[in-house]
Amino acid sequence: MATAAAGGRRRRVLFFPLPYQGHINPMFQLAGLLHARGFSITVFHARFNAPDASAHPAYDFVSVPDDGMPADSPDTVQATMDHILAVNRACEAPFRERLAALLERQRARAEDVACLVADSHLLTLLGVARGLGVPTLALRMGSAACFRCLTAFPMLCDKGYLPVQESSQLDAPVVELPPYRICDLPSSAAAHGQLREVLSRVVTAVTTSSGLILDTFDALEADELAALRRNLAVPVFDVGPLHKLSPAASSSLLRQDRGCLDWLDGQPPASVLYVSFGSLASVSASDLVETAWGIANSGRPFLWVLRPGLVRGAPPSSISLPDGFDAATRGRGVVVSWAPQEEVLAHPAVGGFWTHCGWNSTLEGVCAGVPMLCRPFFGDQMGNARYVDHVWRTGVTIDGELQRGKVEAAISTLMGAGEPGAGMRRRALELKNSAAASIGEAGSSSVNVDMLVSLIQSM
């Protein structure tokens, strides 16, 4: 296997994650993978959502001032676009200063900097690194299918798919990008121009770097990866599932309630519905009520993550479930503020996963072999849900207005003993086995990791 040693010099890889939980996790998993191959690691990071350096004692950390950044995490598409652009603006000058200082120190040591691996949303910072002579690699936190969609975004606009003009168009197929429908595309009527700018910057970040790193695997997205390799002028490294290849120390920004694992130990196999909507998505108060009663009426045991700030307009520190919910579910459910999700999904008691279909959660569900109930909110989540229920056929999507009857029926379909639930479970297990094979000896992802290490070594 390729390692970091070259001519007696220990090489250093720099990282810069976008400061959101779903982007920090894969970045640290990749850092752990490269550290295990002998590379030294330095993590640059914004002060907003700063990672816990004490959890990674083998790494060096460099804090980059982000003066003027909003104090709170974004909760809408427009706010997220604003926030991403603000991170680039705020960190540009201080990152240049701190990177230049690091490079100067490295010249006096018996090691050198191989490259910067940065989130594909950080186009400005990738440009800063190249301006100082540091090669760059872009890490994309999403599926190959999603990035293919981003490269096609100008075409989608030119052909009139976006921005969406009429609600009646939503179910129409995107003939150039099957299996997408218009409703599966990343879109925002209120911030279309801003979204187009941000997505264009992502594509530029990839095409001007020395390679694209994706947290996916060939058996899951063979056609989509092949299309990217045909159409991109840079090498593509599918090295996922990263959380299986590199179970690094926790990079969670929220405190995990591990007591829920003890509760799961007492539940029958494949009986529990695990419900979590990720670290950024938010729901209305009425959707919370319908979700609660759908879960209650299903009669299934459940583990529900209600993180601070999940409900729009509610105090972040407390979320009130509807009157009567506790009495209706007493003895068969647990509610926590945050959970160790990978361990929860791997637990034999978990038989279904209600998810927002962020890519990390989707991939973790795939690797655990757990069928999914999909309720996407924004961004790439709609497209991920489309693949879960239409391509891989390992789950079911709740579309349209959220109603308790629809929730109850979807849970029954997902976790019922007969078809189609049994078929979803069979196919989910097949994908789990494919994921395991991809990271085994001579597996597709293992081969790609070797190729990535060789590229970094040659920089």
What is residue 253's predicted lDDT score, i.e. its pLDDT?
Answer: 64
DSSP 9: B
Question: Is there a single domain that holds both residue 290 and residue 431?
Answer: yes
Picking from 63-67, 279-283, 284-288, which range would have the lowest pLDDT averaged per residue? 279-283
Total domains in the chain come to: 2
Q: For residue 7, is pLDDT > 60?
A: no
- Residue 173: which residues within 8 A CB-CB, separation 6 or more? 179, 180, 181
The string of pLDDT tens digits covering residues 349-378 is 999 999 999 999 999 999 999 999 999 998
What is the model's pLDDT at position 230? 97
Looking at 8-12, 16-20, 373-377, which range is the least confident one?
8-12
374: left (phi > 0), else alpha (psi -120 to 50), else beta?
beta
Average predicted confidence (pLDDT) for the chain: 93
Q: Does the pLDDT at position 60 exceed 80?
A: yes
Q: Is residue 253 part of a domain?
A: no
Least confident of 53-62, 139-148, 298-307, 312-321: 312-321
Q: How confident is the model at residue 320 (pLDDT cuts 50, 70, 90)?
A: confident
Q: How does residue 3 score in pLDDT terms, banded at 50, 70 and 90?
A: low
Q: What is the mean pLDDT of residues 252-267?
A: 88
| CA end-to-end span of the chain | 17
The reply to whether 23 belongs to the active site is yes
In this prediction, residue 319 has a pLDDT band, given cuts at 50, 70 and 90, of confident
- With a cut of 90, say whether residue 167 has pLDDT above it: no
Catalytic (active site) residue 60: no
Structural domain of 161: 10-240+441-458
pLDDT over threshold 50, residue 276: yes
* Residue 252 resides in a domain: no
- pLDDT beyond 70 at 238: yes
Identify whether residues 358 and 431 lie together within a single domain: yes
Can you tell me the distance from the alpha carbon of 297 to that of 325, in angstroms, rounded to the nearest whole number? 10
User: Based on the domain organization, do 67 and 102 belong to the same domain?
Assistant: yes
- 234 and 281 in a single domain? The answer is no
Could you tell me whether strands 111-119 and 10-16 are parallel, antiparallel, or unpaired per DSSP bridges? parallel
Residues 225 and 296 in one domain: no
249, part of any domain: no
Asked if 110 and 120 count as a contact pair (C-beta separation under 8 A), the reply is no
Model confidence at 115, in pLDDT bands (50, 70, 90)? Answer: very high
Beta bridge partners of 111: 10
Contact criterion met (CB below 8 Å) for 343 and 310: no
In whole angstroms, what is the distance from residue 379 CA to residue 51 CA? Answer: 24
Residue 41 DSSP symbol: E
Flag whether pLDDT at 75 surpasses 70.
Answer: no
Q: Is residue 5 part of a domain?
A: no
pLDDT at res. 339: 95
In angstroms, the CA 169 to CA 171 distance is 6
* Contact yes or no for 356/388 (Cβ under 8 A): no
**Do 48 and 196 sit in the same domain of this protein?**
yes
CA distance 233 to 190: 33
Phi-psi bin for 20: left (phi > 0), alpha (psi -120 to 50), beta? beta
Contacts of 108 (CB under 8 A, 6+ apart): none
- Whether 3 maps to a domain, the answer reads no
Same domain, 307 and 231: no
Within-domain flag for 43: yes
Cβ-Cβ contacts under 8 Å for 168 (sequence gap 6 or more): none
Same domain? For 315 and 381 the reply is yes
pTM of the model: 0.94
Do 276 and 422 fall within a single domain? yes
Asked whether residue 255 carries a pLDDT value surpassing 90, the answer given is no
Per-residue pLDDT band at 252 (split at 50, 70, 90): low
Tell me which residue of 126, 49, 122 sits closest to 87, measured CA to CA: 122
Q: Is the pLDDT of residue 110 over 80?
A: no
pLDDT at 423: 97
Which of 170-179, 250-259, 301-310, 433-442 has the lowest average pLDDT?
Answer: 250-259
pLDDT at 6: 46
Residue 109 and residue 43 in one domain: yes
Q: Of these residues, 23, 45, 56, 243, which one is catalytic?
A: 23
Beta bridge partners of 6: 9
CATH of the domain at 354: 3.40.50.2000
Residues 215 and 317 in one domain: no
Same domain, 415 and 447: no
pLDDT for 393-419, tens place per residue?
999 999 999 999 999 999 999 999 889
Q: Which of the four pLDDT bands, split at 50, 70 and 90, describes residue 189?
A: confident
Q: Judge whether 51 lies within some domain.
A: yes
Domain presence at residue 250:
no
Question: So what's the pLDDT on residue 1?
Answer: 46
66, 119, 184, 287: the active-site residue: 119
